[in-house]
Amino acid sequence: MFFASDNWAGAHPNIAAGLSANAGGFSTAYGDGALDRAVYQ
């Protein structure tokens, strides 16, 4: 039996770059951060 997860594929380079660019520093959680507000607009 093989119980590996099916969510171990890589992300699109643009998605990986966006996550990397926004991974540092501090941000308010639960939709109140600057990135969240930018996404909602």
Whole-model pTM: value is 0.46
The stretch 6-33 carries a mean pLDDT of 84
| C-alpha–C-alpha distance, residues 24 and 37, integer Å | 17
**pLDDT grade for 12, boundaries at 50, 70 and 90:** very high
pLDDT at position 32 over 80: yes
Going from the C-alpha of 13 to that of each of 6, 10, 17, 18, 20, the distances in angstroms are 19, 9, 6, 9, 10
| C-alpha–C-alpha distance, residues 26 and 33, integer Å | 9
pLDDT of 17 reads 94
pLDDT of 16 reads 92
| C-alpha–C-alpha distance, residues 33 and 23, integer Å | 13
| C-alpha–C-alpha distance, residues 28 and 26, integer Å | 7
